[in-house]
Structures are given as C-alpha cells and as structure tokens.
Chain A
C-alpha cells in the first residue's frame, strides 16, 4: 500500500497560484528528494501534505485513509478531528529552523510528546530517547537547553524529537539551510544514517550531491508543478531544458 498519496493538490495565496495540480505518492521506506528553485512551492507542498496549510483542492491520503478530499463544491474537505489526529501520528516534520521548545531540556523535547500525546510507558520512552540521542551523537546533551546547542545539534535534537514518535514517514524542509557548511555535514550524515530505519523520508533540499546520493527518487519542481521525477541518475542527467538550467547552477558539485 502507498504510504502517502497526494492527488491533484491545488493551492493559492490570494492571486498567487503556488501549487498547480500536484500529484505524488510515497512508498513504504522510500526516500524522495524534492528539488527546485526558490519560490517554486516546495515548502507549501510539504505544508499541505502535513496539514499545516489548508489546500484549496485535492486529496491527501495516508495509508489508504483519507485526510482530505475535494468536496462537491470543489473545495477541499478535511476529515474529522479524531481521524486527523490518528492520521497525524503517521508522519513527522523537521523544520528548517528546528522549532525546538526553548523551555524544555533536550530530553524533555524528545520525550514529552511520546509521554503526553501518545501516552506511552515512561521507561520505554526514556530508553528509546537515549538510544536516539546516541544515534544523533548527543548522548552528553540530555540535560542541555536548546540555547546551549549549536544549530547542527539543535537540528539533530529536532530529528530525534520527530523520530521518538515512531512515524512511518518523515518530512524535512531544508533541514540544513539554516546551518553553516561545517554543521551541514553532521546533519546530513545523521539523515543518511536513518535510511536503514526503513522510515520513508521526503526531503526538500538544496544539497544536490546529498539528494543524488541518498534518494530513491528525485522530484524536480518549478512554478508550482512537478517538471520531472525519477531515479536520481535520470533526473540529474535529464535533457529537459528547465531541469538542466536549474541544475546547471549546481554544476560543479555534481
């Protein structure tokens, strides 16, 4: 079964049409990168998929369960509160600027939602959180507060926080673009290491070498449409004019 299906998603902000009929799907364990120029609607697409933004029209389906569909009047209709809550527990999102809770320690940032949203057993939650911190290379930062961490460390905590809820699919919106180049590497390394957790990942990124290397599939977006999608080798050597002109700017990296 498809983990996520987006069908004919349309979204505008006032007069500005940002997503023009976007459809895509994600399989279990699949890693999909979304690339494209600034303003092409990549963030908006992730925000519609994670229901931070209300789309105008279209369908959002997680594991066969409809979160939203187009009603008879042509406007998007969202599922009931309870259904949405359950659907929301299937995915996580890592933000560009982390959005950690500054008043919570690293440990509390990671464990609070599993404890008080999922209401899982305390001991298990803490054990898993410690394992995650270890995986992120942050085992000595349990009691630190976000302001005491570097950007790269904050982003790794944010990734751990998302993983602690055991999502089936994890979205990343430019997880490294708020970071210095030397911190970018450590975060990309961590994301890479998640590949063997068999969580599906959808990653919006400007790190072309990374996208090419890690993805099963690359989607190139421009002006609110998917211009091209396919295996990384195919997209990165595409002879489509728009794809080429976009990738040309990253030429030397590839």
Chain B
C-alpha cells in the first residue's frame, strides 16, 4: 500500500472523528444546560436522579459507557440493532457523558453569580426566562469558558475511544493500518492530526475569550 493510499484511509477516519466531535458538542452543550437545571431543581426527586446520573457518568470509564450503550439494547431488550448503530451508539455515549461534565461546569458558573444580579433584574421587572438568558447566562459563559475549553480539548482526544465499538475513526484506522503495514507513519500522522486539531480548538476558544473581553 502506498503512502497516498494510507493517507486516504486516514482522511476517512479523520472525517468520522470530526463528526463524533461535532455531534457531541452540538448535543452535549445544550443538553448539559438542561441537566444543570435538573441538578439545581427544587424537586428533590428530579435533583437526586440527575445527581445520580452525573455521578455515574463521571465515575465510570467512558469506554465502558460506550459498550453499555452499544450492547445494552440487545442484552436488556433483545433488540438487534443494525451495524449502523455503532456510530449512533458512539454519538449517544459521548453526548450523555459530556453533558454530565458540562452540566457541572454550568452549575458552578451559575452558582457563582452574585445574587445582586438576580435582584436587580427582578426589580427592573425582567421575567425568569429573560433574567436567565439576558442577564445571567452571558456572564456565566464568560466565567466558564476556560473550563469548557479544557473539556473540549479532552473531547478531541477522547474521540479515539470510539475504537472500542470498532468505529473507523482516526485512531482505529491508524492502529489497523500500522499493524497491517508494519509502518509507524499512520500513527505519527494520527498524532499530528490530534495535535493540530487541538491547536485549532485552542485558537478558536482564545478568539471567543477575546471576543468577551469587552467587559469585566
């Protein structure tokens, strides 16, 4: 196999990795906010259930969670999912895992907001939704951005865990190629890919942080 052929295969893996990354962020960032609301809910049942969910997601390996999502439907309900389910299971597993982490980040940000902001909003007549989305959330986002950046960088590297479900993303492809061709190049290429991907993430997040620099 020529180097070009290897790179074409790696590029296909790269597309899948990018897909896992994008879908996970698109789902888990808003889902995390909902989870954070549940975690801070006045309803004790909801609060406890959500707290338990978060602790499971944070307290067990993501690899194991991916397997549960993938094999669960068969072992629990006898459902045979088609082979296309591998990628879906990856999306679901990553999204619910990252939503738990983001929820805790949102929660710490929301709880760090001074109560005076809520009181000023109430006196000025803002409704609950307006207060949250106009006054609180923008400030929370600024506060939590560094923690979110950390999480996103971890996600780039975590996407390689999809190899557990034999999803042909960057890492699985590189590993398979390296073994079949007894050649280090695919692994080096994968390493460079993750590194450049994260440089890009860091660059974008820095720009976003700069964009929010207009106030303190």
Which A positions have Cβ atoms within 8 angstroms of B?
50, 52, 85, 88-89, 92-93, 95, 97, 99-103, 112-113, 116-118, 145-147, 161-162, 165
Candidates B117, B134, B214; contact of A99 at CB < 8 Å: B117
Is A145 a contact of B215 with CB atoms below 8 Å?
A: yes
Residues in chain B near residue A95, CB distance under 8 A: 116, 119-120
Size band of the interface chain B makes with A: 10 to 19
A92: nearest chain-B partner, CB-CB:
B123
Which of B14-22, B72-80, B135-143 sits within the interface?
B135-143
Residues in chain B near residue A93, CB distance under 8 A: 123
Is A165 a contact of B116 with CB atoms below 8 Å?
A: no
Which B positions have Cβ atoms within 8 angstroms of A?
114, 116-117, 119-120, 122-126, 130, 134-135, 138-139, 142, 214-216
A101 to B117, alpha carbons, bound, how many Å? 7
Distance from A142 Cβ to chain B, minimum over Cβ atoms (Å):
15
A171: nearest chain-B partner, CB-CB:
B123
Main secondary structure of the interface of A (DSSP, over half): loop
A116: nearest chain-B partner, CB-CB:
B130
A85 to B124, alpha carbons, bound, how many Å? 10
Candidates B126, B135, B216; contact of A147 at CB < 8 Å: B216
Cross-chain pairs A/B with CB under 8 angstroms, 6 sampled = A50-B123, A52-B123, A88-B122, A100-B120, A101-B117, A102-B216
Is A97 a contact of B116 with CB atoms below 8 Å?
A: yes
Known: A161-B124, A165-B125. 18 other contacts (CB 8 A): A50-B123, A52-B123, A88-B122, A89-B125, A92-B123, A97-B116, A99-B119, A101-B117, A101-B120, A102-B215, A103-B215, A112-B134, A113-B126, A117-B125, A145-B214, A147-B215, A147-B216, A162-B123
A112 to B134, alpha carbons, bound, how many Å? 10
A-B contact count (CB 8 A): 55
Residues in chain A near residue B215, CB distance under 8 A: 102-103, 145-147
Distance from A68 Cβ to chain B, minimum over Cβ atoms (Å):
15
Q: A103-B142, A103-B215, A146-B215 are in contact. Are A88 and B125 (CB under 8 A)?
A: yes
Residues in chain A near residue B122, CB distance under 8 A: 52, 88
Q: A102-B215, A145-B215, A147-B216 are in contact. Are A113 and B124 (CB under 8 A)?
A: yes
Is B119 a contact of A117 with CB atoms below 8 Å?
A: no
Is A99 a contact of B116 with CB atoms below 8 Å?
A: yes
Distance from A75 Cβ to chain B, minimum over Cβ atoms (Å):
19
Residues in chain B near residue A50, CB distance under 8 A: 123
Residues in chain A near residue B216, CB distance under 8 A: 102, 145, 147
Distance from A247 Cβ to chain B, minimum over Cβ atoms (Å):
31
A113 to B120, alpha carbons, bound, how many Å? 11
Distance from B162 Cβ to chain A, minimum over Cβ atoms (Å):
38
Residues in chain B near residue A102, CB distance under 8 A: 139, 215-216
Q: A102-B215, A102-B216, A112-B134 are in contact. Are A117 and B124 (CB under 8 A)?
A: yes
